[in-house]
Chains A and B, each alone.
Chain A
Amino acid sequence: MARLPIGQRVRDARNELGLTQLALAKSAGISPSYLNLIEHDKRLIGGALLGRIAKALEVSVDHLSGTDDPLLAQQMIDLVRSQALPDTDEKDALQLVGERPKWARNVIGLHHKYQEAAETAFALSDRLSQDPTLMELSHAMLTQITSIRSFAEILEEVADLEPEERLRFSSIIASQSDRLGSSAREMINLLSGPRNALNLTSPEKEVDDFIVWHGNHYPSLEDAAYQLHVRLSQKRNTLEGAITDILTGDHEITIRFVADAGQQERMNLVEKSLLLDETALDTTTRFQLARALVEIELADMIAEIADSERLTSEESRRRCRQALANYAAGALLFPYHEFLETAENQRYDIERLGLKFHGSFEQIAHRLVTLRRPGAEGVPFAFLRADPAGNLSKPFGIPGLPMPRFGGACPLWAIYIALSSRDRTISQMAVMPHGERFIFVARRLSKRAVGFGAPRTTYAVMLGCDATYSDRIIYGDSFVPGRISQENQVGFTCRSCPRERCAQRAQQSVRATPASTGPDQRARQGGEDVKS
């Protein structure tokens, strides 16, 4: 993470202890004038000096550096990137996190509320203009109001009405008023009706948020899956064979291979049956067996994790349990330490890892994203999946590289190139408008069509990591530092991208345009005022 301007934090902590600048400088082993520069954010510090100052101030390094809340800095950066905030850049965002973390949290909170409100408004307007029931109701109400108004005016303005006419028109007004009342009630019911009729945070998005909030790493599931793996390894069988043994032996599950398993309920615990697709690839079958086992063995743990207030509906919790079962199946088939060690040795070559661990490209890619155990972390990867229509799913961002949750990403990203590239893994050195560099690795995947004429399901998955990891991953080998021809100048989304002359521009940018966004400017931005 970028260094935050922490001058205010240092000053606050020093004042709390009642220390003078002189006293703090002395115990941190720096000159008072240098401390003054730090306290006024003229020097951004890290490393040993940060440690000495934290020690002298009796606070943790994390507290002082703002890394006790890394999400906050990330969220602020994402906010600046996605919104048109006049005269505000990422540096300003980090400054707010550093100096006024409470305010930064409030800004993020307000932004979330704004996003929810905007989505509500969009869904409502969409609904009002599309919903046939609403259209019909509003037409009926207008008709009723028209009759009521017309007859009321007749009663008021026509002096020579016959008594029976007067009676009839009054009764029409009364009956139309009743109908209007029930139409209005019907409309209110429709609009406020079942709580989730207008619930805009979809279960999919709630689960996406849940995964991001957990950093896509669940220590308890990892431990439990590992213990299960050890238990399976003690059987004299392949991993797959041992899983099948436990499923059919201990749990008395009948496994049946059928032609169209995808269309039916996969596992039925009442009937004790597991349906597998007879046409599925071996890697898929193996994964589904593992998932069936963890769904039984780790059911309580999975349910407990998914029993979160972040998930507001049963459907969200159900989807979350599915996601957690997939996670645990990955953890069972690709045990953390062995997988991490092999990944490091094989330099994160997804296809090689797939061969070694009998996993598909997507399974391996998913597992790589989960290697976040504190103290034994792999390369931090972002993840994204896209279909040919541009629908995005499973977004998981990393610091500096948020993954879009709505709409599209930059059309120049490798994930879109991969969609049109068959049987080839695409790697890309993606240079963002402000010079941040990421390596993207993407591949198109198709689910096999079964039978003549059946459509293939196609999508692409993408991993992204900071380019500083390029020597740890095989995909970094294609790029020679300094070879601009190998770099792709991309953005995050069109709306947030200042590259005015981009041929792929789909939407006008809403951002103030820096005069130049080339590598030179990056060097100026990055190097100048950072010292430790």
Chain B
Amino acid sequence: MGTGRTQGGWPVTTKILVAEDEPFIVESLTFLLSREGYSVDSISDGGEVVDAMHRIRPDLLILDIMMPSSNGFDILQKIRITPNLKSTPVLVLTAKGQDADRRRMLELGANDFMTKPFSNAGLVAKVGDLLPGDGKAEEQVI
């Protein structure tokens, strides 16, 4: 669950930043992930993703690579060379299922993909997988 992590004995809310320009997709993701106990922020302008990450320090970034005004590849690359952000897991939302794009995203440091349209359960499961010390990872330790 989103509150699986603890710090000094107190549960710490897991933060997820959704970078997506489609308001309805942001709304459904926010609804779903909040229900799982995560704290969800969103941003619709690709050009502001890196700044928002510095500010919010999310535990996971969900990044739509098809956002206008910025190229998902560039954002990913920038995150991976920024010292404070480079270890943040990134789940990429893509409308392109093409292998070349996937390979490129992996090379640039994406941790996993969801191809639109995706199922809610599939998305929630992937988010759980990607968060360290959370959900399944914790169960495996046990």
Q: Which residues of A contact B (CB under 8 A)?
A: 138-139, 142-143, 145-151, 153-154, 157-158, 165, 172, 176
Contacts and interface: CB of A to CB of B under 8 A. Distances in A.
Nearest to A153: B120
Given A147-B24, A154-B28, 9 more contacts: A138-B95, A139-B95, A142-B95, A143-B25, A143-B116, A150-B118, A154-B31, A157-B121, A158-B35
Contact of B120 (A139, A148, A154): A154
15 contacts: A138-B95, A139-B95, A143-B22, A143-B25, A143-B95, A143-B116, A145-B116, A146-B116, A146-B118, A150-B28, A151-B28, A153-B119, A153-B120, A153-B121, A154-B31
B31 A146 contact: no
Contacts of A143: 22, 25, 95, 116
Contacts of B66: 139
Nearest to B20: A143
Nearest to B116: A146
B22 A147 contact: yes
B72 to A, nearest CB: 13
Contacts of A138: 95
Main secondary structure of the interface of B (DSSP, over half): helix
B32 interface: yes
Given A143-B22, A172-B24, A176-B24, A149 B117 contact: yes
A149 B121 CA distance: 12
Contacts, number: 48
Nearest to A138: B95
Nearest to B28: A150
Interface of B: 22, 24-25, 27-29, 31-32, 35, 66, 95, 116-121
Contacts of B29: 150
Given A139-B95, A143-B22, A172 B27 contact: yes
B47 to A, nearest CB: 19
A165 B118 CA distance: 21
Q: Which 8 A-B pairs rank lowest in CB-CB distance, beginning with the nearest?
A: A150-B28, A147-B24, A146-B117, A146-B116, A142-B95, A153-B120, A145-B117, A149-B117
A145 B28 CA distance: 13
A157 B117 contact: no
A157 B122 CA distance: 13
Nearest to B31: A154
Contacts of A145: 116-117
B112 to A, nearest CB: 17
Nearest to B119: A153
Contacts of A148: 117
A142 B95 CA distance: 7
B131 to A, nearest CB: 20
Given A142-B117, A146-B116, A146-B117, A154 B32 contact: yes
Contacts of B117: 142, 145-146, 148-150
A157 B25 CA distance: 17
Contacts of B24: 147, 151, 172, 176
B120 A147 contact: no
A147 B25 contact: yes
Contacts of B121: 153, 157
Which of A150, A153, A157 counts the most chain B CB atoms within 10 A? Answer: A150
A267 to B, nearest CB: 49
Contacts of A165: 31
Contacts of A142: 95, 116-117
A150 B35 contact: no
Nearest to A173: B24
Contacts of A154: 28, 31-32, 120
A179 to B, nearest CB: 10
A145 B95 CA distance: 11
A53 B22 CA distance: 82
A43 to B, nearest CB: 60
Contacts of A158: 35
Nearest to A141: B95
Nearest to B114: A146
Nearest to B118: A146
A157 B121 CA distance: 10
Contacts of B22: 143, 146-147
Given A154-B120, A157-B120, A158-B35, A147 B28 contact: yes
B133 to A, nearest CB: 27
Nearest to B32: A154
A145 B116 CA distance: 8
A157 B28 CA distance: 13
A149 B118 CA distance: 8
A509 B120 CA distance: 51
Contacts of A176: 24
Contacts of A172: 24, 27
A177 to B, nearest CB: 12
A138 B95 CA distance: 9
A138 to B, nearest CB: 8
A158 B32 CA distance: 10
A353 B115 CA distance: 69
B25 A150 contact: yes
Nearest to A168: B27
A52 to B, nearest CB: 69
A357 to B, nearest CB: 59
A146 B29 CA distance: 11
A157 B95 CA distance: 24
Contacts of B95: 138-139, 142-143
A151 B118 CA distance: 11
A149 B120 CA distance: 8
Nearest to B95: A142
A172 B116 CA distance: 17
